[in-house]
Structure 1
Amino acid sequence: VVDGATHKAVTVEMADVNSDYDCAVIDEIQMIGCRTRGFSFTRALLGIAANELHLCGDPAA
C-alpha cells in the first residue's frame, strides 16, 4: 500500500471486509457461481462495507 493512496485494487479473496469504503467495485460477479471461487465473491458481496457498491460482470452469465 502506498502512503496517501486513495484507491486500491485486490482480488476478491484479498478483499478487506473489516474496513469502511466510500465506493467498492466487484468485477466478474458472475464468478459467484464458480465452485472453487464463488465463496470469495459471496463473502465480498455480503461483507464489503461501502456506501456505494458496483457489480460488474457478464450479463449473459
Structure 2
Amino acid sequence: MLLARVVEANLADQEFFIRKAIGWALREYGKTDPGWVAAFVAGHAAAMSPLSRREAVRHLAPAI
C-alpha cells in the first residue's frame, strides 16, 4: 500500500510537520479503514513519534 510505504520511509524524520502529517494521513485513512490504521500504529509504535501516534489514533476506538 502506498500510504504504508510513504509513512515508513518518513518515520525517522525529525521535522515537526512531517511527524504531524504522518499522524494526519493515518487519521484520515482511519475513517475508511480503522482496523488497518490501528494495526499499522501497533506494528510501528516503537518507530513512530508520540505526536504521529497521538494524531493517528485520535478518532479511533478508545481501546487503541
Classify the TM-score, shorter chain: 0.3 to 0.5
Q: Under a length normalisation based on structure 1, what TM-score does the superposition of the two structures give? A: 0.36
- Would you tell me which structure has more strand in proportion to its own residues? 1
Greater helix percent: which structure?
Answer: 2
Q: Considering only CA atoms, is the larger Rg found in Structure 1 or Structure 2?
A: 1
- With the length of structure 2 as denominator, give the TM-score of the two structures: 0.36
